[in-house]
Amino acid sequence: MRFRATLYPIAHLALTSSLTILLIALGLVGRAALAAELGIVQGALLATFYAFSANARSLILQGHGDLTPDRLLSKRILALPVLCLGSYVLCVHAAGIAPALAVPLILRRACEWLAEVRLCEIEVASDRAAARKVVVVQATATLLAMIALALMPELGLAALYPFALAPLVGAAPRLNWSAFEPSRLRGTLMGITPHIGSTAIIDISIYLIRLIVFLLVDRETAGLLFTAFALGSFMPTLFANVLGPTLALQRARAGQKGSRRFVTAAIYASR
């Protein structure tokens, strides 16, 4: 039996979990010090971009009132400079990460943050061709960045820039300028504030824990610990953030029978 709905979680995973995959790969191939630095950058991105993401994917897939994709995208665009600056400060000034590594990874997350809204629209529209394109492009970009960082460290950081811009290929956001009207922006901010609180506490805590580990132990040890943390948390995160919203959408469309088929597919995909 074919479970077509799994294509969209795979596309979302390919788009938003690339840094986690890079971290795990570098830790497993013996580049633990670099994995530690990636872990800190990822923690900073969690404390900024993810903390203020406000469960946008769930809101879009479930059609949450006035919090439409256009309005959520406008909020993200306006917040982008502040979050980029905040991530840079947390990486470079607080943890001592080299700007040459931090900047392309922050750029990657900024592009992901905008492309994620478009990918949610693709899932709602059941546009399988667009979702397949996202999977192919992001998987290829992540694989090339992984090879460059693991085998060609002198070229690896330069190779991160194509990787950083890859989310805009196939999932470039579509702007609706009416969503930037002051009255609509105020309504979006008021509607999204409770959802921001639910993500901010967890993600800021993750950054603080990683920073403490990074500053207390050597980078090799920190890299091994971050790799283990990433491996251990990957599957719970997969079900909560990637499969969960799609499951809710499929259940709303197909009823209980459809949701059972999707859960079965998710279990087999996670083995």
- Residues 44-73: tens digit of each pLDDT: 998 898 877 767 777 787 776 667 788 888
Is 271 among the domain residues?
Answer: no
152 is a domain residue:
yes
Q: Which residue has the higher pLDDT, 28 or 200?
A: 28
User: Residue 68, CB half-sphere, CA atoms under 13 Å: how many?
Assistant: 11
In a domain, 258, yes or no: no
Q: Which of 133, 131, 159, 204 is nearest to 22 (CA)?
A: 159
Which class for 240: exposed (0-12), middle (13-18), buried (19 or more C-beta within 10 A)? exposed
11-20, 64-73, 201-210 — which is least confidently predicted?
64-73
Q: For residue 101, is it within any domain?
A: yes
Within a domain: 261: no
Of 29 and 232, the one with more pLDDT: 29
Q: Which residue has the higher pLDDT, 138 or 174?
A: 138
Task: Supply angle C-alpha 247, 138, 78, rounded to 5.
Answer: 80
Given a cut of 70, is residue 206 above it in pLDDT? yes
**Cα–Cα distance between 96 and 102 in angstroms, integer?**
10
Please, which residues have CB within 8 angstroms of residue 43's CB and are 6 or more apart in sequence? 90, 206, 207, 209, 210, 211
| Average pLDDT score, the chain | 81
Q: What is the mean pLDDT of residues 4-25?
A: 87
Predicted confidence band of residue 98 (pLDDT cuts 50, 70, 90): very high
Report the range of poorest mean pLDDT among 45-54, 164-173, 221-230: 45-54
pTM, two decimal places: 0.84
pLDDT value for 120: 87
The pLDDT value recorded for residue 2 is 44
What pLDDT is stored for residue 25 in this prediction? 93
What pLDDT sits at residue 184?
A: 66
Lowest mean pLDDT among 29-43, 53-67, 84-98, 101-115: 53-67
Task: Calculate mean pLDDT across residues 148-166.
Answer: 84
Domain that holds residue 153: 8-170+179-235
Q: What is the mean pLDDT of residues 237-258?
A: 62
Residues 6+ apart with CB under 8 A from 254: 261
DSSP 217: S
Q: Has residue 258 got a pLDDT over 70? A: no
Q: Tell whether 1 is covered by a domain.
A: no
CA–CA dist 79, 81 (Å, integer): 6
251 inside domain: no
Q: For residue 47, tell me if it sits in a domain.
A: yes
- pLDDT bracket for residue 141 (50, 70, 90): very high
Count of the separate structural domains present in the chain = 1
Write down the pLDDT at residue 227. 93
